[in-house]
Amino acid sequence: MSGKSSTESLPAPVTRAVQKLGADLALARRRRRLTQASMAERLRVSEATVRRMERGDSGISLGTIVQAFFVLGELDKITRLLDTASDDIGLSLMNEQLPQRVRKKRIKPDSGAL
């Protein structure tokens, strides 16, 4: 291992987003009066992993982060993150591929032979 942080190779906006998520998770944990040790026990990870997650280390598994949302009673926020019904970019791209017009399909006439 090179000793570099796992966020060094990420674009700056991604790094900032991961760090904000970690800080928000730490704040939510403290507001619920949970210690890092208690959070680690509930997540079934080490306290060091909780500290890394709260610092915004991008090497923390998605499963651990989702479990943290569950422990904090906020799992519904994860399930709504990329709701396809409100995916404006995806819907726009799909709309660009719609045909200009829709024609009735031709039905081939029967030859009358059995």
Mean pLDDT by 10 residues, the chain (114 residues): 58 96 98 98 98 97 97 94 83 83 81 64
For position 77, what pLDDT does the model report?
A: 93
Calpha distance 72→24 (Å, rounded): 11
H helix intervals, 1-114 = 12-31, 36-43, 47-55, 62-71, 75-79, 88-96
For position 69, what pLDDT does the model report?
A: 98
For position 7, what pLDDT does the model report?
A: 54
Residue written as token pair 């040790």: 37
For position 52, what pLDDT does the model report?
A: 98
For position 55, what pLDDT does the model report?
A: 97
Map out the domains of the chain with their CATH numbers.
Answer: 12-96 (1.10.260.40)
For position 2, what pLDDT does the model report?
A: 42
Q: How far is the CA of 95 from the CAs of 5, 28, 59, 100, in angstroms? A: 41, 39, 36, 10
